[in-house]
Amino acid sequence: MSLQILGPYEGSALNFVNFSGKTLAERYTGLNHWSLLREEQNLWPYGMTHDNRRPLNFGTQDYLGFSNNDVVIKSLKDFLEKNHVIHSAGSPTLTGRTIWTDELENKLAAILKQKTCLLFPSGWMACFGAVAGLTNAKDTLVLDALSHNCLQVASKFSSQNIFKYNHNDMSHLNEILEKCRQMDDRNGLFVITETLFSMNSDAPDLRRMMELVHKYDAILIIDTAHDLGVIGEKGLGLLETIDIQYEKNMVICGAFSKVFGTNGGFVAGPEEIRKQLTIMSPTYIFSTGTSPIQCHVASKSIDLVYSEVGLKLRRNLKELVDFTVSCFHKNGFTINGKPTQIVPVLIGHERIARMIFKKVFEQGLLVNLVEFPAVPKGKAIFRFQLMATHRKEEIAEAIEMMKEARIMVEKERVEMID
C-alpha cells in the first residue's frame, strides 16, 4: 500500500518510520497527509484539542483528583499572596534551587525512607536523569522488555551493554544476570523496571527481584510513577512489599503528574547518589529547576495523600476499580492486567479501535486510544483511567457508550463484507 493513499482507518506509525529526503516537507509529507486525514475524521488521538463540550473524562492520569482539589487550589492562592514568586529561574546545579525545593526533597526522602532526594522538572526527566547520571559505558543495563520510553532512551544514551528480559519474567531475569556477571564481574550491573506498567496494568515480583539484585551484586533503578501514592494502605504502591529502608542499592524514581497534582519528578536513594546526579545527570544540570509553584502543589498534595484524606480516596478508588472491571466483563470486554486505576481494554486491530474511538468521542466520552508504537501492532487498547472522584453512574454510562459503539462498528463491518 502506498504511503500517499493510506486512509485514516488504515496503517500505523510503522508505515512512516523509514522517512527520507533533504527537506523537511519531503521527509514528513507522508505522515502529515495521513495524520490530516485522521484529524478530519476525529481519529487522531495525539495532542487532541478540546472544544467547549464537557466530556466524560476517563483519559486523565490525575488519579486522586488533586489537580482540581479545592484544598490544594486554596493553599496555592495563599502561597502566591504570601511569597510573590512563581519561577526558579536557573539550573538547580547553579541557582535554580529554593527553600521549597529543599522542603519537598526532605519530605519525599522521609516518606520513602531514603537518605536523599533530588527534584526534576518532570517524571520523564527524573527517570532519564537517574539512568544517564548513575551509569556509564562500562556498566551493563538489564531492562524489562516493556520499560517506559524514558528508561529505554536513557539506557541507549549511557551504554551499549544493554539486555532485555521478558516482561516481568524473573526466571529470564535470573538467566541474564548470571550471564552478565560471568562476562563482567567488576563493573556496575543495573536492573531497570517499573512498579506498575501503565499499558498492561501489571507489576513485577519485587521481592524476588530484590533477591536477584542481592545475588548478583546489582543495583535497582525503579520507576514508581503510576502506583506511588495511589495504591496500598500506606500509599507506597509496590514498595510496600519490601523493606525499602534497608535497601542500599536501590534508586527510586517517580512523577508528580499522576497523583500529586502538578508536573515534576524526583529521584531518591542513598546519600551516595546526590553529588553524582547533581553534576552528571543531563536532565538535572541543563534544565531549569522545579518551580516554587510545582514544589508547593506537590508538597500540599503529598500532605493529603499521606493522611486520612488520602487513605479514604485510595479505598474509594479501589472500590471504583472493582466496579469498573466487573462492568467491562459483564459487557463482553477483555481487560488486560490486574485491577488498578488503569484499565487496559483490549480491542486488537487498529481499524476497529479507531472506529470505536471516533464514535465515543463524538458522543462525548474522552478515553485514550493507544496504538503502535506505544503497544504492539495489532494490540490496540483503550486505556480507561479512573479517578477517586469519579462516580459509578459515570463509569456505567461510559462503558455503555463503548459497548454501543462496538456493536455499531461490528454491524458496519458485516455490512461492508456483505
What per-residue confidence (pLDDT) applies to 8? Answer: 79
Cα distance between residue 383 and residue 1, in whole Å:
29
Please answer whether residues 207 and 242 qualify as being in contact, where contact means their C-beta atoms are separated by less than 8 angstroms.
yes
Q: How far is CA 215 from CA 189, 212, 218, 272, in A?
A: 11, 5, 8, 21
Q: Report pLDDT digits (tens) over 206-239.
A: 999 999 999 999 999 999 999 999 999 999 999 9
Last residue of some domain: 305, 328, 351? 305
Give the contacts of 292 (CB within 8 A, at least 6 positions apart).
79, 83, 85, 86, 87, 88, 98, 100
For 21: left if phi > 0, alpha if psi spans -120 to 50, otherwise beta; the answer is left
Domain span at residue 318 reads 54-63+309-417
Task: Give how many domains the chain has, as a whole number.
Answer: 2
**Which DSSP helix (H) or strand (E) runs through 120?**
strand 116-120
CB-based burial label for 80 (10 Å; 0-12, 13-18, 19+): middle
**147 occurs within a structural domain:** yes
pLDDT of 82 over the 90 cut: yes
Q: Examine the domain organization and report whether 257 and 125 are in the same domain.
A: yes
Quick one: which of 56, 94, 65, 27 has its CA closest to 366? 56
Q: Examine the domain organization and report whether 298 and 342 are in the same domain.
A: no
Q: Examine the domain organization and report whether 252 and 377 are in the same domain.
A: no
- Phi first, then psi, for residue 102 (nearest 5°) are -60, -45
Residue with the three cell numbers 479514604: 312
**296 occurs within a structural domain:** yes
| Alpha helix ranges (H) inside 218-291 | 273-280, 282-285
Q: Examine the domain organization and report whether 291 and 354 are in the same domain.
A: no
Last residue of some domain: 243, 271, 305? 305
Q: Report pLDDT digits (tens) over 93-133.
A: 999 999 999 999 999 999 999 999 999 999 999 999 999 99
**316 occurs within a structural domain:** yes
**79 occurs within a structural domain:** no
Q: Grid coordinates standing for 155?
A: 539506557
| Alpha helix ranges (H) inside 306-387 | 308-330, 350-363
**376 occurs within a structural domain:** yes
Asked whether the CA dihedral 109, 113, 116, 117 is positive or negative, the reply is negative
Q: Examine the domain organization and report whether 315 and 297 are in the same domain.
A: no
Residue 48: pLDDT band (50, 70, 90) is low
Q: What is the mean pLDDT of residues 42-52?
A: 70
pTM over 0.95: no
Q: Examine the domain organization and report whether 197 and 330 are in the same domain.
A: no
Last residue of some domain: 275, 305, 335? 305
Q: Examine the domain organization and report whether 232 and 128 are in the same domain.
A: yes
| Alpha helix ranges (H) inside 84-146 | 99-111, 123-134
What per-residue confidence (pLDDT) applies to 53? Answer: 65
- Phi first, then psi, for residue 188 (nearest 5°) are -70, 140
What per-residue confidence (pLDDT) applies to 2? Answer: 41
Q: Examine the domain organization and report whether 324 and 371 are in the same domain.
A: yes
Q: What is the mean pLDDT of residues 174-183?
A: 98
Please answer whether residues 64 and 226 qualify as being in contact, where contact means their C-beta atoms are separated by less than 8 angstroms.
no
pLDDT of 87 over the 60 cut: yes
Q: How far is CA 312 from CA 231, 233, 305, in A?
A: 12, 10, 9
Q: Examine the domain organization and report whether 377 and 274 are in the same domain.
A: no
Q: Examine the domain organization and report whether 175 and 126 are in the same domain.
A: yes
**74 occurs within a structural domain:** no
**Residue 307 CB neighbour total at 10 angstroms:** 12
Please state the length of the chain: 418
**Residue 104 CB neighbour total at 10 angstroms:** 26
Long-range residue pairs from 291-294, CB within 8 A, at least 24 positions apart, any chain: 291/86, 291/87, 291/88, 292/79, 292/83, 292/85, 292/86, 292/87, 292/88, 292/98, 292/100, 293/76, 293/79, 293/80, 293/86, 293/262, 294/121, 294/256, 294/262, 294/263, 294/264
Looking at every residue in the chain, the average pLDDT score rounds to 93
CATH number at residue 345: 3.90.1150.10
Cα distance between residue 174 and residue 324, in whole Å:
36
Q: Grid coordinates standing for 148?
A: 517506559
Quick one: which of 255, 273, 278 has its CA closest to 265? 255
Cα distance between residue 389 and residue 60, in whole Å:
12
Please answer whether residues 79 and 301 qualify as being in contact, where contact means their C-beta atoms are separated by less than 8 angstroms.
no
Which segment of 47-61, 144-158, 191-205, 393-407 scores lowest on mean pLDDT?
A: 47-61
